[in-house]
Amino acid sequence: RKFWIHGTGALGCLPQKLSIPRDDDSDLDANGCLNKYNDVAKAFNEKLAETCNQLRQRMADAAIVFTDLYPIKYDLVANHTKYGVERPLMACCGNGGPPHNYNHFKMCMSGEMQLCDMDAKFISWDGIHLTEFANAIVASKLLTGDYSKPRVRIASLVNSTAPHDG
Q: 149 - beta bridge partners?
A: 66
Q: CA-to-CA distance for 128 and 91, rounded, in angstroms?
A: 8
Segment 105-132 mean pLDDT? 81
The predicted model scores a pTM of: 0.88
Spatial separation of the C-alpha atoms in residues 14 and 28, rounded to whole Å: 12
Is the pLDDT at 109 greater than 90? The verdict is no
Where in the chain are the domains? Answer: 2-159
The rounded radius of gyration (Å) of the Cα atoms in the chain is 18
Strands across the sheet containing 148-149: 2-6, 63-67, 148-149
Angle at 41 between CA 146 and CA 92, to 5 degrees: 85
Region of 145 on the Ramachandran plot (φ > 0 left; ψ -120 to 50 alpha; else beta) = left
- List phi, psi (to 5°) of 4: -120, 115
The percentage of residues in the chain with a pLDDT greater than 90, rounded to a whole number, is 73
